[in-house]
Chains A and B, each alone.
Chain A
Amino acid sequence: MMLAGTVTAIHATADLLGDAERRLPAVDPGATAFGARGLGLLGEVGQEAYRHWQAAMNARVREARAHAARVRDLADLVDHAMGGFAEAQHSAERAQRDLATGDSGVA
């Protein structure tokens, strides 16, 4: 895969995680769906089940956020390499031009 393709793939993964962070909370079916609004014993158990779900969902959202940041760091690493590549390419092109015009750049 070329550098540009690598960067595109990394950004797509970062976007996927960013979307997950935003959209996962909407997956929550709500306290009522877990039976957390019931009376007595069944309501208590429903509340426990819902708290367990909420804690897990909060963890999923935090995981997505943190990992999106890590993936963006990867993109930065590739950008760093691309910067070096561009600099090297400019130097090579300049050297070729200088050779073609007979200007060695040495006084």
Chain B
Amino acid sequence: MDALAQLAPVAAPLLRDVDTALLTLGAPATHPVWRALGRVGATPADVVAFVADLEPARLRAAADALRAQAAAYEQASLPVDAPWEGETARHYRAAAEAVREHLAGDGPSLASRLRDQASYVESWAEWQQALRDGLARALAEAMTSSQAVTLRSQMTRPTEVDGLPAAVQAAADIAVHLLGVAEDAAAAGRDVIRAAQGLDELTYRENLPSDPLAGSGTIRVE
């Protein structure tokens, strides 16, 4: 259980107060929370609930499965040496070498593509974990902030209107702090996707002798 899994349930009442204050009381006109809400497109409580549900372990399991498949490709036995001689053998050797290289050779291969895809999904798992950790830190800061005290005091005494302006400001401050984590994470997430290039279908390069196959040959009995 990571920090966010522990903090999210404890922070739920504060997040509910933040959302309620924003929805019912609004925020100061020039407060950056308006811009943050517009960009993130979700309230702080929604963001925390969404991120708390993310399970990077599921993505890591997918990465493990892809790497296991890559290892199976690498371990496949594809004999290149033909136990006979002649034109058919020459064609076989050329074709087998190309097929083996494409499967798991030193250059780009089906095995390396699987490993690259595993790295991509693992990067996405790391991104999710970084988002969870960043949000947990921001939540901890918000929960121990003076704004949290101000907001919660007002929400427990809703009839006392003197504290309303401070409560509105406090809710907006907490919201912008949490939404900022989501905005930064979104930018980092797009970087992860952009960095994961070279996952397209690998082109096969045939390597056959140019002369036609006549079918003659000598069998080498071993």
* Complex interface: chain B residues within 8 A of A59 (CB): 113, 199-202
B99 touches A81 (CB 8 A): no
Within 8 A of B (CB), among A42-92: 42-46, 48-49, 52-53, 55-57, 59-60, 62-64, 66-67, 70-71, 73-74, 77-78, 80-81, 84-85, 88
Q: In the complex, which of the residues A35, A67, A80, A81 contacts B103, with contact meaning CB atoms closer than 8 Å?
A: A67
Mark out the residues of chain B between 71 and 124 whose CB falls within 8 Å of any chain A CB in the assembled complex: 72-73, 76-79, 81-84, 88-89, 91-92, 95-96, 99, 102-103, 110, 113-114, 117, 120-121, 124
A82 to chain B, nearest CB (A): 9
Contacts of A49 in B (CB 8 A): 124, 189, 192-193
Residues A77 and B65 in contact, CB atoms below 8 Å apart: no
B186 and A42: CB pair below 8 A? yes
Is the CB of B196 closer than 8 A to any CB of chain A?
yes
Interface size class of A (residues with CB under 8 A): 35 or more
- How far in angstroms is the closest Cβ of chain A from B101? 11
Q: Would B84 and A85 count as touching, CB distance under 8 A?
A: yes
Give residues of chain A (1-52) contacting chain B, Cβ–Cβ below 8 Å.
1-3, 5-6, 9-10, 12-13, 16-17, 20, 23-24, 27-29, 33-35, 38-46, 48-49, 52
Chain B: number of interface residues, binned into ranges: 35 or more
Task: Check: B157 CB closer than 8 A to any chain A CB.
Answer: no
Q: Which of A1, A5, A23, A56 has the most CB of B within 10 A?
A: A56
Chain B interface (Cβ < 8 Å from any Cβ of A)? 39-42, 46-47, 50-51, 54-55, 58-59, 61-62, 65-66, 69, 72-73, 76-79, 81-84, 88-89, 91-92, 95-96, 99, 102-103, 110, 113-114, 117, 120-121, 124, 128, 131, 182-183, 185-186, 189-190, 192-193, 196, 199-202, 204, 215-217, 219, 222
Q: Given A48-B189, A81-B89, output 11 extra A-B contacts at Cβ < 8 Å.
A: A6-B82, A12-B77, A29-B58, A39-B47, A39-B50, A42-B40, A43-B50, A53-B121, A59-B113, A74-B99, A84-B217
